[in-house]
Amino acid sequence: MKDVREELQSMLGDYYNTEIFLSVTKTKSITVRLTGNVKSPGDVTLSSYDTIMDALIAANGVLKTGTLRQIKLIRGNSSTIIDLYGLLVFGSSTSDFSLRDGDTIQVGPIGPTLAIAGSVKRPAIYEILPAYSAMWKDTQETSQKLSLDDIMMMSGGNMAPGKYRYIRMTPDQMGRDNTDEIQDSALKIFRDGDILNVLKGKEKRSDAVELDGNTRADGIYAIKDTPTLSYLLTSEKILTPETYPLIGIVERWNPVQLSTEFIAFSPKKIINGEADVKLRESDRVMLFTHQEIKSIGTPKSEYDSSSLQLASLNTGSQPNNKEDKTEEIRSELPNNIRHFLLEHSVFIRGSIRNSGAFPVTNGTTLDSLLATAGGTSLEASLGNIEITQPLGDRQNRRSTIDLSNTPARTITLNPGDTIRINQKFRRIEDNHVLLVGEIRNPGTYDLLPGDTLSKLIERAGGITEQAYPEGAIFSRKTERLREEQRFLSQARDLELKLATALSQKDKDKKPAMEEITLAKSLISDLKNAEALGRLTVEADPGMLAANPEMDILLETGDRIYIPKRPLTVRVAGEVLSPASLQFKTGKSPRTYIDESGGFTYNADQDRSFVVYPDGSASPLAVSAWNHSASMIPPGSTIIVPRDPKPLTFMDGAKDLSQILANLATTAIFADDIADDH
C-alpha cells in the first residue's frame, strides 16, 4: 500500500500544491473449489490473503476419513502435495500456502496410521506417509517406517521426566498382535497399523516422605525437613474435625524382608509432645477419618455367623440389606489396613454414645477413648466401669473402676481390651400410646410400666355419652409389624407363583393378560397395605372395673379408637354400592347385601363374613342356595371378598380368599382410625 502511494506521488510531483491520498475499502475476492473428504465440499469465496487452512475452515473441516498429510493443491496444469502436519503438529507455517482464484483443493482418503497411547502429551491416532519414496519403500510395505524418536516427537514427548517402558503391538497377516518392548529408540521399525503404548514406571520418591489422609497439609515433604512425625504434625490445626485422633499408620518398605510394614502411632500424642516416631525415606504417613474407622466393623466370629443363620430361620427370609450395606462400607479401606486397625482395637460397650471397635496405640488413656466415642450417656454409671484385659493363653483379667476415685486420664488401655460402661437407671425412652375417638380428652399419653386400658381411659377423663366401647379398635405395634411381614410374605409368594406361571412353555397353561394384571394389582395391594394389628379387647370402663382380669396392659405404640354408638351396619367389598345401612332388629345379612345393590360379578358369596363391633368375625351363609339368618348387631361390618377363581394359574399359592378378605378388613378399619386422628 505504501509503495503504491509513493509511486503515484512521484508521478504527480510536477503538479503544484497536489498531494495523493490512497485508501483501500475492499480486497479482491477469489473462488476456490474444495473436493473430497471435507464436510462441506464445493466452491467457497475467500479473500486474496487467505490460505489453505482458511479454505478448509470455510468447508467446516476435514472428515475423519480424510487425509491431512497428502492434500493436493491444483493450480492450472500443476499440482502440489500439502502436508499440514508441519503446521498442526510442529507449528511450522511453511506448510500453509496462499491461494489464488481458481485453485482446487483436493482432500483424498486418510493414509496409513499408527496409534500412540499412554503417558505422552498428545496420545492419538496419527497419519503417516505411504511408501511412495524409494528412501523407505520395501517389498510389501505400505507406509514409511518411523523410529521411536520420530513417534515421540510427533506426540509431544513424555508427560513428565522419569523411567518409561515403550511397548509396540504389531498386527501380523493372521490378525494377531505381536508385542515387543523397544530398546533402541533410533531403529526405524514402526509402520502402518502399529500401536505404541508408553508406560510410566512406578515413581520412587527419594529423600521424601508423604502425608496422606484427613489433614489440611497432605502432600510430599523433604526428609531433611521432617526427620520425625512431630515435624509433620506440628499442632492440632493441621488436623480437621473429622480426623481420628487415637491412631495413624506409617507405611514403610522393609528392604531386608522385601515387604511393607505398618507402624502405629497416636496423632494426639505426637501433637501433644508425648511421643514421636523417626521417619525414613519413602515413608507414607496415613491419617483416618471417624467414618473410615467406623467402617472397619468388628471381628467376625462363629457366634455372629450362627446368630445370623438362626435369625434367617426364624424369619423365614434372607438377611436384610442392612448387612449388605455394612459390607459395602467395609470396603472403603484396603484389607491389609483394615485388619491392622482391627488388631489394634479396643472394644467399648454399654452406656456410651458410640459403642464398637476403636483402634488405639499402646498406652491410650481411658479419657481419650471416652471422648473419641462421644462420651458416656446420661444413664451411665461412672462408678462401675468394667475393663477386661487379655493376659495371653486365653487368660483374661477383669477389674472394676470407679471414676470418682480414679481419674480416667490415669487408666491406660492397650489393643484387645474391652470396656463396659454399666448404667445406673433405665434408658430414657419415648413411651406413649394414642387414644382417640369418643374420649373427653383424646390425644397422646405417656406410658409407665403397669399402665392398663382402664387407667388410660380414666386419665383421659372417661368416655363420652355417645361412646360405643363395644366397638373399640385396639391396634398394637407388635401386631402391626407382624401383620406387615405377613402381607409381604404373601406378596412374595404370589410373585413366585406368577413368575412360575409365566415361565410355562405350554402356551395353554400360561395366564391370560387379564389374570396377569389382576395378580400384579393384588401383589401391589399387599406390599402397600397399611397393617392394622387389631386385638379384641374389652374397653367398657364398667366392665373393666367389675372384671379386672379383662383389663389389658398397655405397650408403647398402642393405638385405641373408641367410636360413636352406631345405628348402622356397614356393607363393604364386592357389592354394587358399598354403604352404611340403618340397623333394624331381625334384618338378615342377605337383606343388608341386597340393600347395597347385591353382589358384583367378582363376588365370592360363599366366603362372605361379618366383623362384629369388638373385632371378632364369623362366616355368613348368604348365597342363593345356602341362606340362613344371622344376628347382625349395630356397628358390624359385612364384608364380601373378591372371588379368587380368575387367578386359576395361582394354584398352590396361599389361600387367596383369606388374603383378599384380610386386605378388605384392614383397609376399612384403618380408614376409621385415620378419619378420627
Three cell numbers written together for 329:
462400607
CATH of 477-676, one of 3.10.20.30, 3.40.120.10, 3.90.550.10, 3.10.560.10: 3.10.560.10
In CATH, what number does 113-200 get?
Answer: 2.40.240
C-alpha cell at 540: 367398657
**At residue 383, does pLDDT exceed 70?**
yes
Domain borders along the chain are: 29-107, 113-200, 208-293, 477-676
The answer for residues whose C-beta is within 8 angstroms of residue 37's C-beta and 6 or more apart is: 62, 63, 65, 66, 67, 107, 108, 109, 110
Contact 409, 366 (CB under 8 A): yes
C-beta of residue 222 within 8 angstroms of C-beta of residue 207: yes
Instruction: Please give the residue that has the higher pLDDT: either 324 or 401.
Output: 401
- Per-residue pLDDT tens digits for 43-74: 999 988 889 999 999 999 999 999 998 999 99
φ, ψ of residue 666 in degrees (nearest 5): -60, -45
Q: What angle do the packed helices 477-502 and 513-528 form, to 10 degrees? A: 160
Query: b/e per residue, 407-423, with b = 16+ CB within 10 A?
Result: ebeebebebbbbbbbbe
Mean pLDDT of 510-522: 79
Looking at residue 310, its pLDDT comes to: 34
- CA 81, CA 72: separation in Å to the nearest integer? 5
- For position 303, what pLDDT does the model report? 41
pLDDT at 90 over 90: no
Q: List strands edge to edge, sheet with 617-619.
A: 579-582, 568-573, 637-640, 609-611, 617-619
Q: What is the pLDDT of residues 203-247, one digit of tens each?
A: 666 688 999 988 888 888 999 999 999 999 999 999 999 999 999
Alpha helix ranges (H) inside 429-512:
453-459, 477-502
The topology (CATH level 3) of 29-107 is Outer membrane lipoprotein wza fold like (3.10.560)
Distance, CA of 66 to CA of 292 (rounded, Å): 54
- Lowest-confidence pick of 61-65, 129-133, 463-467: 129-133
pLDDT value at residue 473: 87
Per-residue pLDDT band for 668 (boundaries 50, 70, 90) equals: low
Higher pLDDT, 349 or 317: 349
What is the structure's pLDDT at 646?
Answer: 66
Cα separation, 460 vs 601, in Å, equals 47
Residues, the chain: 677
- Checking if the pLDDT of 431 tops 70, the result is yes
Of the candidates 71, 149, 138, which has an alpha carbon nearest to the alpha carbon of residue 110? 71
CATH 1.10.220 fits 208-293, yes or no: no
Burial 616-633 (b: 16+ CB within 10 A, else e): eeeebbbeeeeeeeeebe
Residue 191 has pLDDT above 70, yes or no: yes
Interhelix angle 656-676/513-528, rounded to 10 degrees, is 40
> Do 29-107 and 113-200 fold alike per CATH?
no
Q: What is the mean pLDDT of residues 391-402?
A: 84
Q: pTM for this one?
A: 0.45
Cβ count within 10 A of residue 69: 22
Q: HEC states along 180-232?
A: EECCCCCCCCECCCCEEEEEECCCCCCCEEEEEECECCCEEEECCCCCEHHHH
In this structure, what are the phi and psi dihedrals at residue 342, rounded to the nearest 5 degrees?
-65, -40
Helix (H) / strand (E) element for 399: namely strand 395-401
pLDDT above 50: residue 157: yes
